[in-house]
Amino acid sequence: MCVASRYVGEEKRALAGVLSIRGAQDEEPPDPQLMRLDNMLLAEGVSGPEKGGGASAVAAAAAAAVGGTGNDNSVEHSDYRAKLTQIRQIYHTELEKYEQACNEFTTHVMNLLREQSRTRPISPKEIERMVSIIHRKFSSIQMQLKQSTCEAVMILRSRFLDARRKRRNFNKQATEILNEYFYSHLSNPYPSEEAKEELAKKCSITVSQVSNWFGNKRIRYKKNIGKFQEEANMYAARTAVNATSASAQGSQANSPSTPNSAGESPRSLY
DNA sequence: TACGATGATTGTAT
DNA sequence: ATACAATCATCGTA
């Protein structure tokens, strides 16, 4: 339970994203801002045709963002689509409501003006001005609706696109390979691009996942070396065994209590 | 269910 | 552009 509360931070992020779009052009030009909102709503399939073409596009993007794991997320897709259609329906009904209210209000004002025209002269220019004022007011309200709809879509998107939600631990073999590289290059645990590609291939993960792994590993190892001492010793011993079995000589007893001694140029991590 | 481990993202400094 | 640091969101386990 309390699942909703855990999403608050993420919603704040999504909201911040939307607000930053608004803030980017805060300089009182209503048209580009409105255009952006309209474009986004159209791209997300909210304001477009009733069929959810945009939804499937976003779902495909989400699937692509998750990466090579070609899992069947049809459940989540339908969940996403359901929520998007819900947003779309709310958006359309609200928009229609505003449209109708605008029309009613203008006719009401027109009637008032017509009534007043019996007691005082009213120029057509004045009427025109009134109408345009009313329309401006209502279009600003519509813009708010579009804004909040965009926010809702952004939140929905972030919920489905955020790869942190789909996190899966790497399999044992992959972490073995990564750890082996890390501890055998402890003096300089910064694999080159080629090395990363090699590791990625061996572990069946992407290069950026390798980069993430090394980034996390470096910082967490540095954070407290004591916690990783055992692991370090284990991998150091393993590589030592491999080396001796490969060369079949060198009878020195090696139990490196300090894994840092393995490298030539220490201190690169500190 | 609480908590540590872990992969991913975000923000900042270089 | 890359690394680091902090943080998020989930997983695995006691």
Residue A51: CB less than 7 A from any atom in strand C = no
pLDDT at residue A158, rounded to an integer: 77
pLDDT at residue A29, rounded to an integer: 54
Least confident of A141-150, A171-180, A183-192: A141-150
Q: Reply yes or no on whether the pLDDT at A205 is more than 90.
A: yes
Mean pLDDT of A180-187: 95
Residue A190: CB less than 7 A from any atom in strand C = yes
Mean pLDDT of A114-119: 91
Alpha carbons within 13 angstroms on the beta-carbon side of residue A16 total 6
Report the distance from CA of residue A265 to the C1' of nucleotide B12 in Å, as an integer. Answer: 28
Q: How far apart are the C-alpha atoms of A222 and A217, rounded to whole Å?
A: 8
Helix, strand, coil abundance in chain A, percent, nearest 5 = 75, 0, 25
Handedness of CA A136, A140, A146, A149 (dihedral sign): negative
Number of Cβ atoms within 10 Å of the Cβ of A238: 15
Report the distance from CA of residue A52 to the C1' of nucleotide C3 in Å, as an integer. Answer: 42
What percentage of chain A carries pLDDT values higher than 90? Answer: 43
> Residues 145-184, chain A: which have Cβ under 7 A from strand C?
162, 164-169
DSSP letter for A171, please.
P
Q: Which one has a higher pLDDT value, A111 or A157?
A: A111
Q: Reply yes or no on whether the pLDDT at A161 is more than 90.
A: no
Least confident of A32-36, A238-242, A260-264: A260-264
pLDDT at residue A6, rounded to an integer: 41
Q: Reply yes or no on whether the pLDDT at A262 is more than 60.
A: no
> Residues 87-146, chain A: which have Cβ under 7 A from strand C?
none
pLDDT at residue A261, rounded to an integer: 39
pLDDT at residue A33, rounded to an integer: 81
Handedness of CA A80, A5, A20, A146 (dihedral sign): positive
Confidence band (pLDDT; 50, 70, 90) for A62?
very low
Q: Can you give the pTM of this predicted structure? A: 0.62
CB A81 within 8 A of CB A103: no
pLDDT at residue A73, rounded to an integer: 56
Instruction: Return the exposure string of A211-229: e unless at least 16 CB atoms fall within 10 Å of the residue's CB, then b.
Output: eebbeebbeebeeeeeebe
